[in-house]
Amino acid sequence: MNLKTDDMKGKFGLIGTNISHSKNPLLFKAAYSKYDFTFDLVDSPDFDDAMKKVTAMDLSGVNVTTPFKDKAYFAATKRDILCNTIEASNLLLIKNGEIFAYNTDYYGVKDTLAHYNGSNVKTLIIGCGGAGRAAALAVKDLSHKVSIANRTFDKADNYARKIGATAISFSQAAGTLEEFDIIFNKLS
Protein backbone atom coordinates (compact mmCIF):
# COMPACT_ATOMS: atom_id res chain seq x y z
CA MET A 1 0.00 0.00 0.00
CA ASN A 2 2.79 2.43 -0.79
CA LEU A 3 1.65 5.61 -2.47
CA LYS A 4 4.35 7.99 -3.64
CA THR A 5 4.31 11.78 -3.31
CA ASP A 6 4.46 11.93 -7.10
CA ASP A 7 1.10 10.08 -7.21
CA MET A 8 -0.63 12.84 -5.25
CA LYS A 9 -2.38 15.91 -6.66
CA GLY A 10 -0.78 18.13 -4.06
CA LYS A 11 -4.01 19.02 -2.24
CA PHE A 12 -4.24 17.85 1.36
CA GLY A 13 -6.10 18.71 4.53
CA LEU A 14 -7.17 17.95 8.07
CA ILE A 15 -10.65 16.75 8.99
CA GLY A 16 -12.13 17.00 12.46
CA THR A 17 -14.44 18.97 14.69
CA ASN A 18 -13.55 22.42 16.06
CA ILE A 19 -10.16 22.51 14.34
CA SER A 20 -10.01 26.19 13.32
CA HIS A 21 -7.16 26.69 15.82
CA SER A 22 -5.01 23.96 14.21
CA LYS A 23 -1.41 24.76 13.31
CA ASN A 24 -1.35 21.87 10.81
CA PRO A 25 -1.49 24.14 7.72
CA LEU A 26 1.60 26.03 8.93
CA LEU A 27 3.46 22.83 9.82
CA PHE A 28 2.56 21.25 6.50
CA LYS A 29 3.70 24.31 4.55
CA ALA A 30 7.02 24.34 6.42
CA ALA A 31 7.59 20.61 5.89
CA TYR A 32 6.71 20.64 2.19
CA SER A 33 7.85 24.11 1.16
CA LYS A 34 9.65 22.81 -1.94
CA TYR A 35 6.40 21.36 -3.31
CA ASP A 36 3.40 23.16 -4.74
CA PHE A 37 1.06 21.58 -2.17
CA THR A 38 -1.95 23.06 -0.40
CA PHE A 39 -3.36 22.14 3.00
CA ASP A 40 -6.88 23.05 4.09
CA LEU A 41 -8.90 22.60 7.25
CA VAL A 42 -12.15 20.68 6.79
CA ASP A 43 -14.08 21.43 9.98
CA SER A 44 -17.34 19.55 10.43
CA PRO A 45 -19.28 17.92 13.26
CA ASP A 46 -20.15 15.03 10.92
CA PHE A 47 -17.69 12.60 9.29
CA ASP A 48 -19.80 11.95 6.19
CA ASP A 49 -20.16 15.71 5.63
CA ALA A 50 -16.40 16.16 6.05
CA MET A 51 -15.70 13.44 3.48
CA LYS A 52 -18.15 15.03 1.01
CA LYS A 53 -16.16 18.25 1.38
CA VAL A 54 -12.90 16.33 0.87
CA THR A 55 -14.29 14.89 -2.37
CA ALA A 56 -15.62 18.27 -3.54
CA MET A 57 -12.24 19.88 -2.82
CA ASP A 58 -10.51 17.04 -4.74
CA LEU A 59 -8.03 16.41 -1.91
CA SER A 60 -5.43 13.65 -2.27
CA GLY A 61 -5.31 12.96 1.43
CA VAL A 62 -6.30 14.11 4.87
CA ASN A 63 -5.02 13.86 8.38
CA VAL A 64 -7.84 12.74 10.66
CA THR A 65 -8.39 13.99 14.19
CA THR A 66 -11.07 13.87 16.86
CA PRO A 67 -13.70 12.52 16.66
CA PHE A 68 -13.29 10.80 13.28
CA LYS A 69 -10.45 8.27 13.61
CA ASP A 70 -12.73 5.26 14.06
CA LYS A 71 -15.04 6.31 11.22
CA ALA A 72 -12.05 6.97 8.95
CA TYR A 73 -10.93 3.37 9.46
CA PHE A 74 -14.31 2.00 8.42
CA ALA A 75 -14.60 4.38 5.43
CA ALA A 76 -11.38 3.11 3.87
CA THR A 77 -11.34 0.66 1.00
CA LYS A 78 -7.79 -0.50 1.89
CA ARG A 79 -6.11 -0.48 5.31
CA ASP A 80 -2.59 -1.08 6.53
CA ILE A 81 -2.03 -3.85 9.08
CA LEU A 82 -1.79 -1.41 12.01
CA CYS A 83 -5.18 0.04 11.20
CA ASN A 84 -6.67 -3.44 11.31
CA THR A 85 -5.35 -3.99 14.82
CA ILE A 86 -6.07 -0.48 16.13
CA GLU A 87 -9.33 -0.10 14.17
CA ALA A 88 -8.64 3.59 13.71
CA SER A 89 -6.95 5.75 11.08
CA ASN A 90 -5.41 9.18 11.37
CA LEU A 91 -4.36 9.40 7.72
CA LEU A 92 -6.44 8.79 4.61
CA LEU A 93 -4.91 8.93 1.13
CA ILE A 94 -7.23 9.00 -1.85
CA LYS A 95 -6.35 7.76 -5.32
CA ASN A 96 -8.57 6.68 -8.20
CA GLY A 97 -11.65 6.53 -5.97
CA GLU A 98 -9.98 4.30 -3.38
CA ILE A 99 -9.35 5.38 0.20
CA PHE A 100 -6.18 4.04 1.81
CA ALA A 101 -6.07 4.13 5.64
CA TYR A 102 -2.92 4.42 7.74
CA ASN A 103 -2.18 4.96 11.40
CA THR A 104 0.84 7.16 12.00
CA ASP A 105 -0.06 7.82 15.66
CA TYR A 106 1.46 4.40 16.38
CA TYR A 107 4.83 5.38 14.88
CA GLY A 108 4.87 8.73 16.64
CA VAL A 109 4.66 6.99 20.01
CA LYS A 110 6.88 4.02 19.17
CA ASP A 111 9.65 6.07 17.57
CA THR A 112 9.62 8.62 20.40
CA LEU A 113 9.92 5.95 23.09
CA ALA A 114 12.18 3.49 21.24
CA HIS A 115 14.93 3.93 23.85
CA TYR A 116 12.44 3.03 26.62
CA ASN A 117 11.85 -0.55 25.61
CA GLY A 118 11.65 -3.57 27.84
CA SER A 119 9.32 -5.32 30.22
CA ASN A 120 10.47 -3.26 33.21
CA VAL A 121 8.72 -0.15 31.84
CA LYS A 122 5.18 0.31 33.15
CA THR A 123 2.99 2.52 30.97
CA LEU A 124 -0.52 3.81 31.58
CA ILE A 125 -2.70 4.85 28.65
CA ILE A 126 -5.67 7.01 29.70
CA GLY A 127 -8.30 6.78 26.97
CA CYS A 128 -9.16 4.05 24.50
CA GLY A 129 -10.17 6.02 21.41
CA GLY A 130 -8.14 5.79 18.22
CA ALA A 131 -5.10 7.67 19.56
CA GLY A 132 -5.19 5.74 22.85
CA ARG A 133 -5.36 2.38 21.09
CA ALA A 134 -2.45 3.36 18.82
CA ALA A 135 -0.36 4.44 21.82
CA ALA A 136 -1.20 1.25 23.72
CA LEU A 137 -0.19 -0.98 20.82
CA ALA A 138 3.02 1.00 20.23
CA VAL A 139 4.23 0.66 23.81
CA LYS A 140 3.09 -2.95 23.96
CA ASP A 141 5.26 -3.58 20.88
CA LEU A 142 8.15 -2.02 22.86
CA SER A 143 7.51 -4.75 25.47
CA HIS A 144 6.14 -2.36 28.11
CA LYS A 145 3.72 -3.55 30.76
CA VAL A 146 0.65 -1.67 29.53
CA SER A 147 -2.44 -0.67 31.48
CA ILE A 148 -5.39 1.07 29.82
CA ALA A 149 -7.94 3.18 31.70
CA ASN A 150 -11.01 4.48 29.91
CA ARG A 151 -14.34 6.16 30.72
CA THR A 152 -15.98 2.91 29.58
CA PHE A 153 -14.15 0.06 31.28
CA ASP A 154 -15.48 -2.62 28.89
CA LYS A 155 -14.00 -0.80 25.88
CA ALA A 156 -10.58 -0.68 27.56
CA ASP A 157 -10.90 -4.29 28.69
CA ASN A 158 -11.80 -5.58 25.21
CA TYR A 159 -8.87 -3.80 23.57
CA ALA A 160 -6.45 -4.70 26.37
CA ARG A 161 -7.30 -8.38 25.92
CA LYS A 162 -6.80 -8.05 22.15
CA ILE A 163 -3.22 -6.75 22.50
CA GLY A 164 -2.15 -8.51 25.71
CA ALA A 165 -2.43 -5.51 28.03
CA THR A 166 -4.41 -4.88 31.24
CA ALA A 167 -7.49 -2.71 31.71
CA ILE A 168 -7.96 -0.77 34.94
CA SER A 169 -10.69 1.54 36.18
CA PHE A 170 -10.24 5.31 36.37
CA SER A 171 -10.29 5.13 40.17
CA GLN A 172 -7.67 2.39 40.18
CA ALA A 173 -5.51 4.43 37.79
CA ALA A 174 -5.83 7.56 39.96
CA GLY A 175 -4.70 5.63 43.03
CA THR A 176 -1.64 4.09 41.38
CA LEU A 177 -0.19 6.85 39.16
CA GLU A 178 3.15 6.79 40.97
CA GLU A 179 3.62 3.14 39.94
CA PHE A 180 3.87 4.04 36.25
CA ASP A 181 7.03 5.13 34.44
CA ILE A 182 5.12 6.69 31.54
CA ILE A 183 1.56 8.06 31.42
CA PHE A 184 -0.27 9.03 28.23
CA ASN A 185 -3.46 11.07 28.46
CA LYS A 186 -5.32 10.33 25.24
CA LEU A 187 -8.69 11.70 26.25
CA SER A 188 -10.14 14.46 24.10
Q: Which residues are catalytic?
A: 69
Residue type present at position 32:
Y
Q: With contact defined as beta carbons under 8 Å apart, do 111 and 84 qualify?
A: no
Q: How far apart are CA 147 and CA 124, in angstroms?
A: 5
CA dihedral 91, 70, 55, 15 (to 10 degrees): -70
Rounded to the nearest 5 degrees, what angle is found at the Cα of 62, between the Cα atoms of 128 and 185?
25
Q: What is the DSSP letter of 152?
A: S
- Beta strands 91-95 and 61-64, pairing class: antiparallel
Q: With contact defined as beta carbons under 8 Å apart, do 66 and 16 qualify?
A: yes
- Beta strands 38-43 and 11-16, pairing class: parallel
Query: Bridge-partner residues for 91, per DSSP?
Result: 63, 102
CA distances from 143 to 40, 130, 180 (A): 38, 20, 14
Residue type present at position 81:
I
